[in-house]
Amino acid sequence: MQQALAFGLALIAITSPVPSVQAQQNPVAGGFELGEEVQSAPPQSGLLTIQPDRLFSESLFGQRIAQEIEAEGAVLTAENRNIEADLRAEEQELTERRSTMEAAAFRTLADAFDRKVQQTRATQDAKLRDISQLGEQARREFFVASLPVLERIMRETGTGAILDHSTVFLSADAVDITDLAIARIDAVLGDGLSQAESPDE
């Protein structure tokens, strides 16, 4: 039982439970309705590039999501620590009772305790997945909502594509528009809460 408990507790304890919200690519449909972008002149270039991770993480929208995930992660971490302390106390109580119990009776209690540890682990893992999915969904919504802004920049520059900056090995004509895109997207989306709170506008 001692080994099973230690294994269960190790899986329950989470010190850094939240994966980065920058981990997801491949945006899908769904998002916020856009308004008018700020009128900031984009650079004239035959090839535009953008840094997707920076675009999200440095935007007001991305910063809000990061703060929300950090807060959710802190709550989960504190909860896991409390659970671990409770399980250790319960294990200690079982250990102290062992010498006064029949072997079969003790084994029944020990098996029930091990099942409790595994069930707790599954519950806490599910909460962690929920936090992770929050970031992934927010990232998808952000990129879909940002597309009209990026398309406007393309039309203004006459370029036919915006490439991921990391995929361009060398180009004399490439211009990175990440900062420009962040400024325009912030002006349209803000942190995303206004669109969520005013769906009829």
| pTM of the complete model | 0.69
Q: Judge whether 24 lies within some domain.
A: no
Cα 99 to its chain centre, rounded Å, is 48
CA R_g for the chain: 25
- Is the pLDDT confidence value at 117 over 80? yes
The Cα-based distances of 182 to 21, 50, 131 in angstroms read 17, 10, 25
Chain mean pLDDT for the chain: 80
- Is the pLDDT confidence value at 85 over 80? yes
Q: Judge whether 18 lies within some domain.
A: no
Q: Judge whether 33 lies within some domain.
A: no
Q: Judge whether 26 lies within some domain.
A: no
Domain that holds residue 173: 44-196
Q: Judge whether 38 lies within some domain.
A: no
Element (H, E) at 162: strand 162-164
Q: Judge whether 143 lies within some domain.
A: yes
- Is the pLDDT confidence value at 21 over 60? no
Q: Judge whether 77 lies within some domain.
A: yes
41-55, 96-110, 149-163: the lowest-pLDDT one: 41-55
β-pair partners for 48: 162, 175
Reported as a pLDDT band with limits 50, 70 and 90, residue 44 is low
Segment 25-37, tens digit of pLDDT: 433 333 333 333 3
Instruction: Provide the pLDDT for residue 42.
Output: 61
Instruction: Provide the pLDDT for residue 173.
Output: 66
Q: In whole angstroms, what is the distance from residue 138 CA to residue 105 CA?
A: 50
Provide the domain count of the chain. 1
Are 8 and 117 in contact by the 8 Å Cβ rule? The answer is: yes
β-pair partners for 49: 163, 176
Segment 127-177, tens digit of pLDDT: 999 999 999 999 999 999 999 999 999 999 888 889 999 888 777 667 899
Q: In whole angstroms, what is the distance from residue 101 CA to residue 85 CA?
A: 24
Instruction: Tell which wins on pLDDT, 47 or 44.
Output: 47
Reported as a pLDDT band with limits 50, 70 and 90, residue 113 is very high
Within 47-102, residue ranges assigned H as helices are 52-57, 60-97
- Is the pLDDT confidence value at 94 over 90? yes
Q: Judge whether 72 lies within some domain.
A: yes
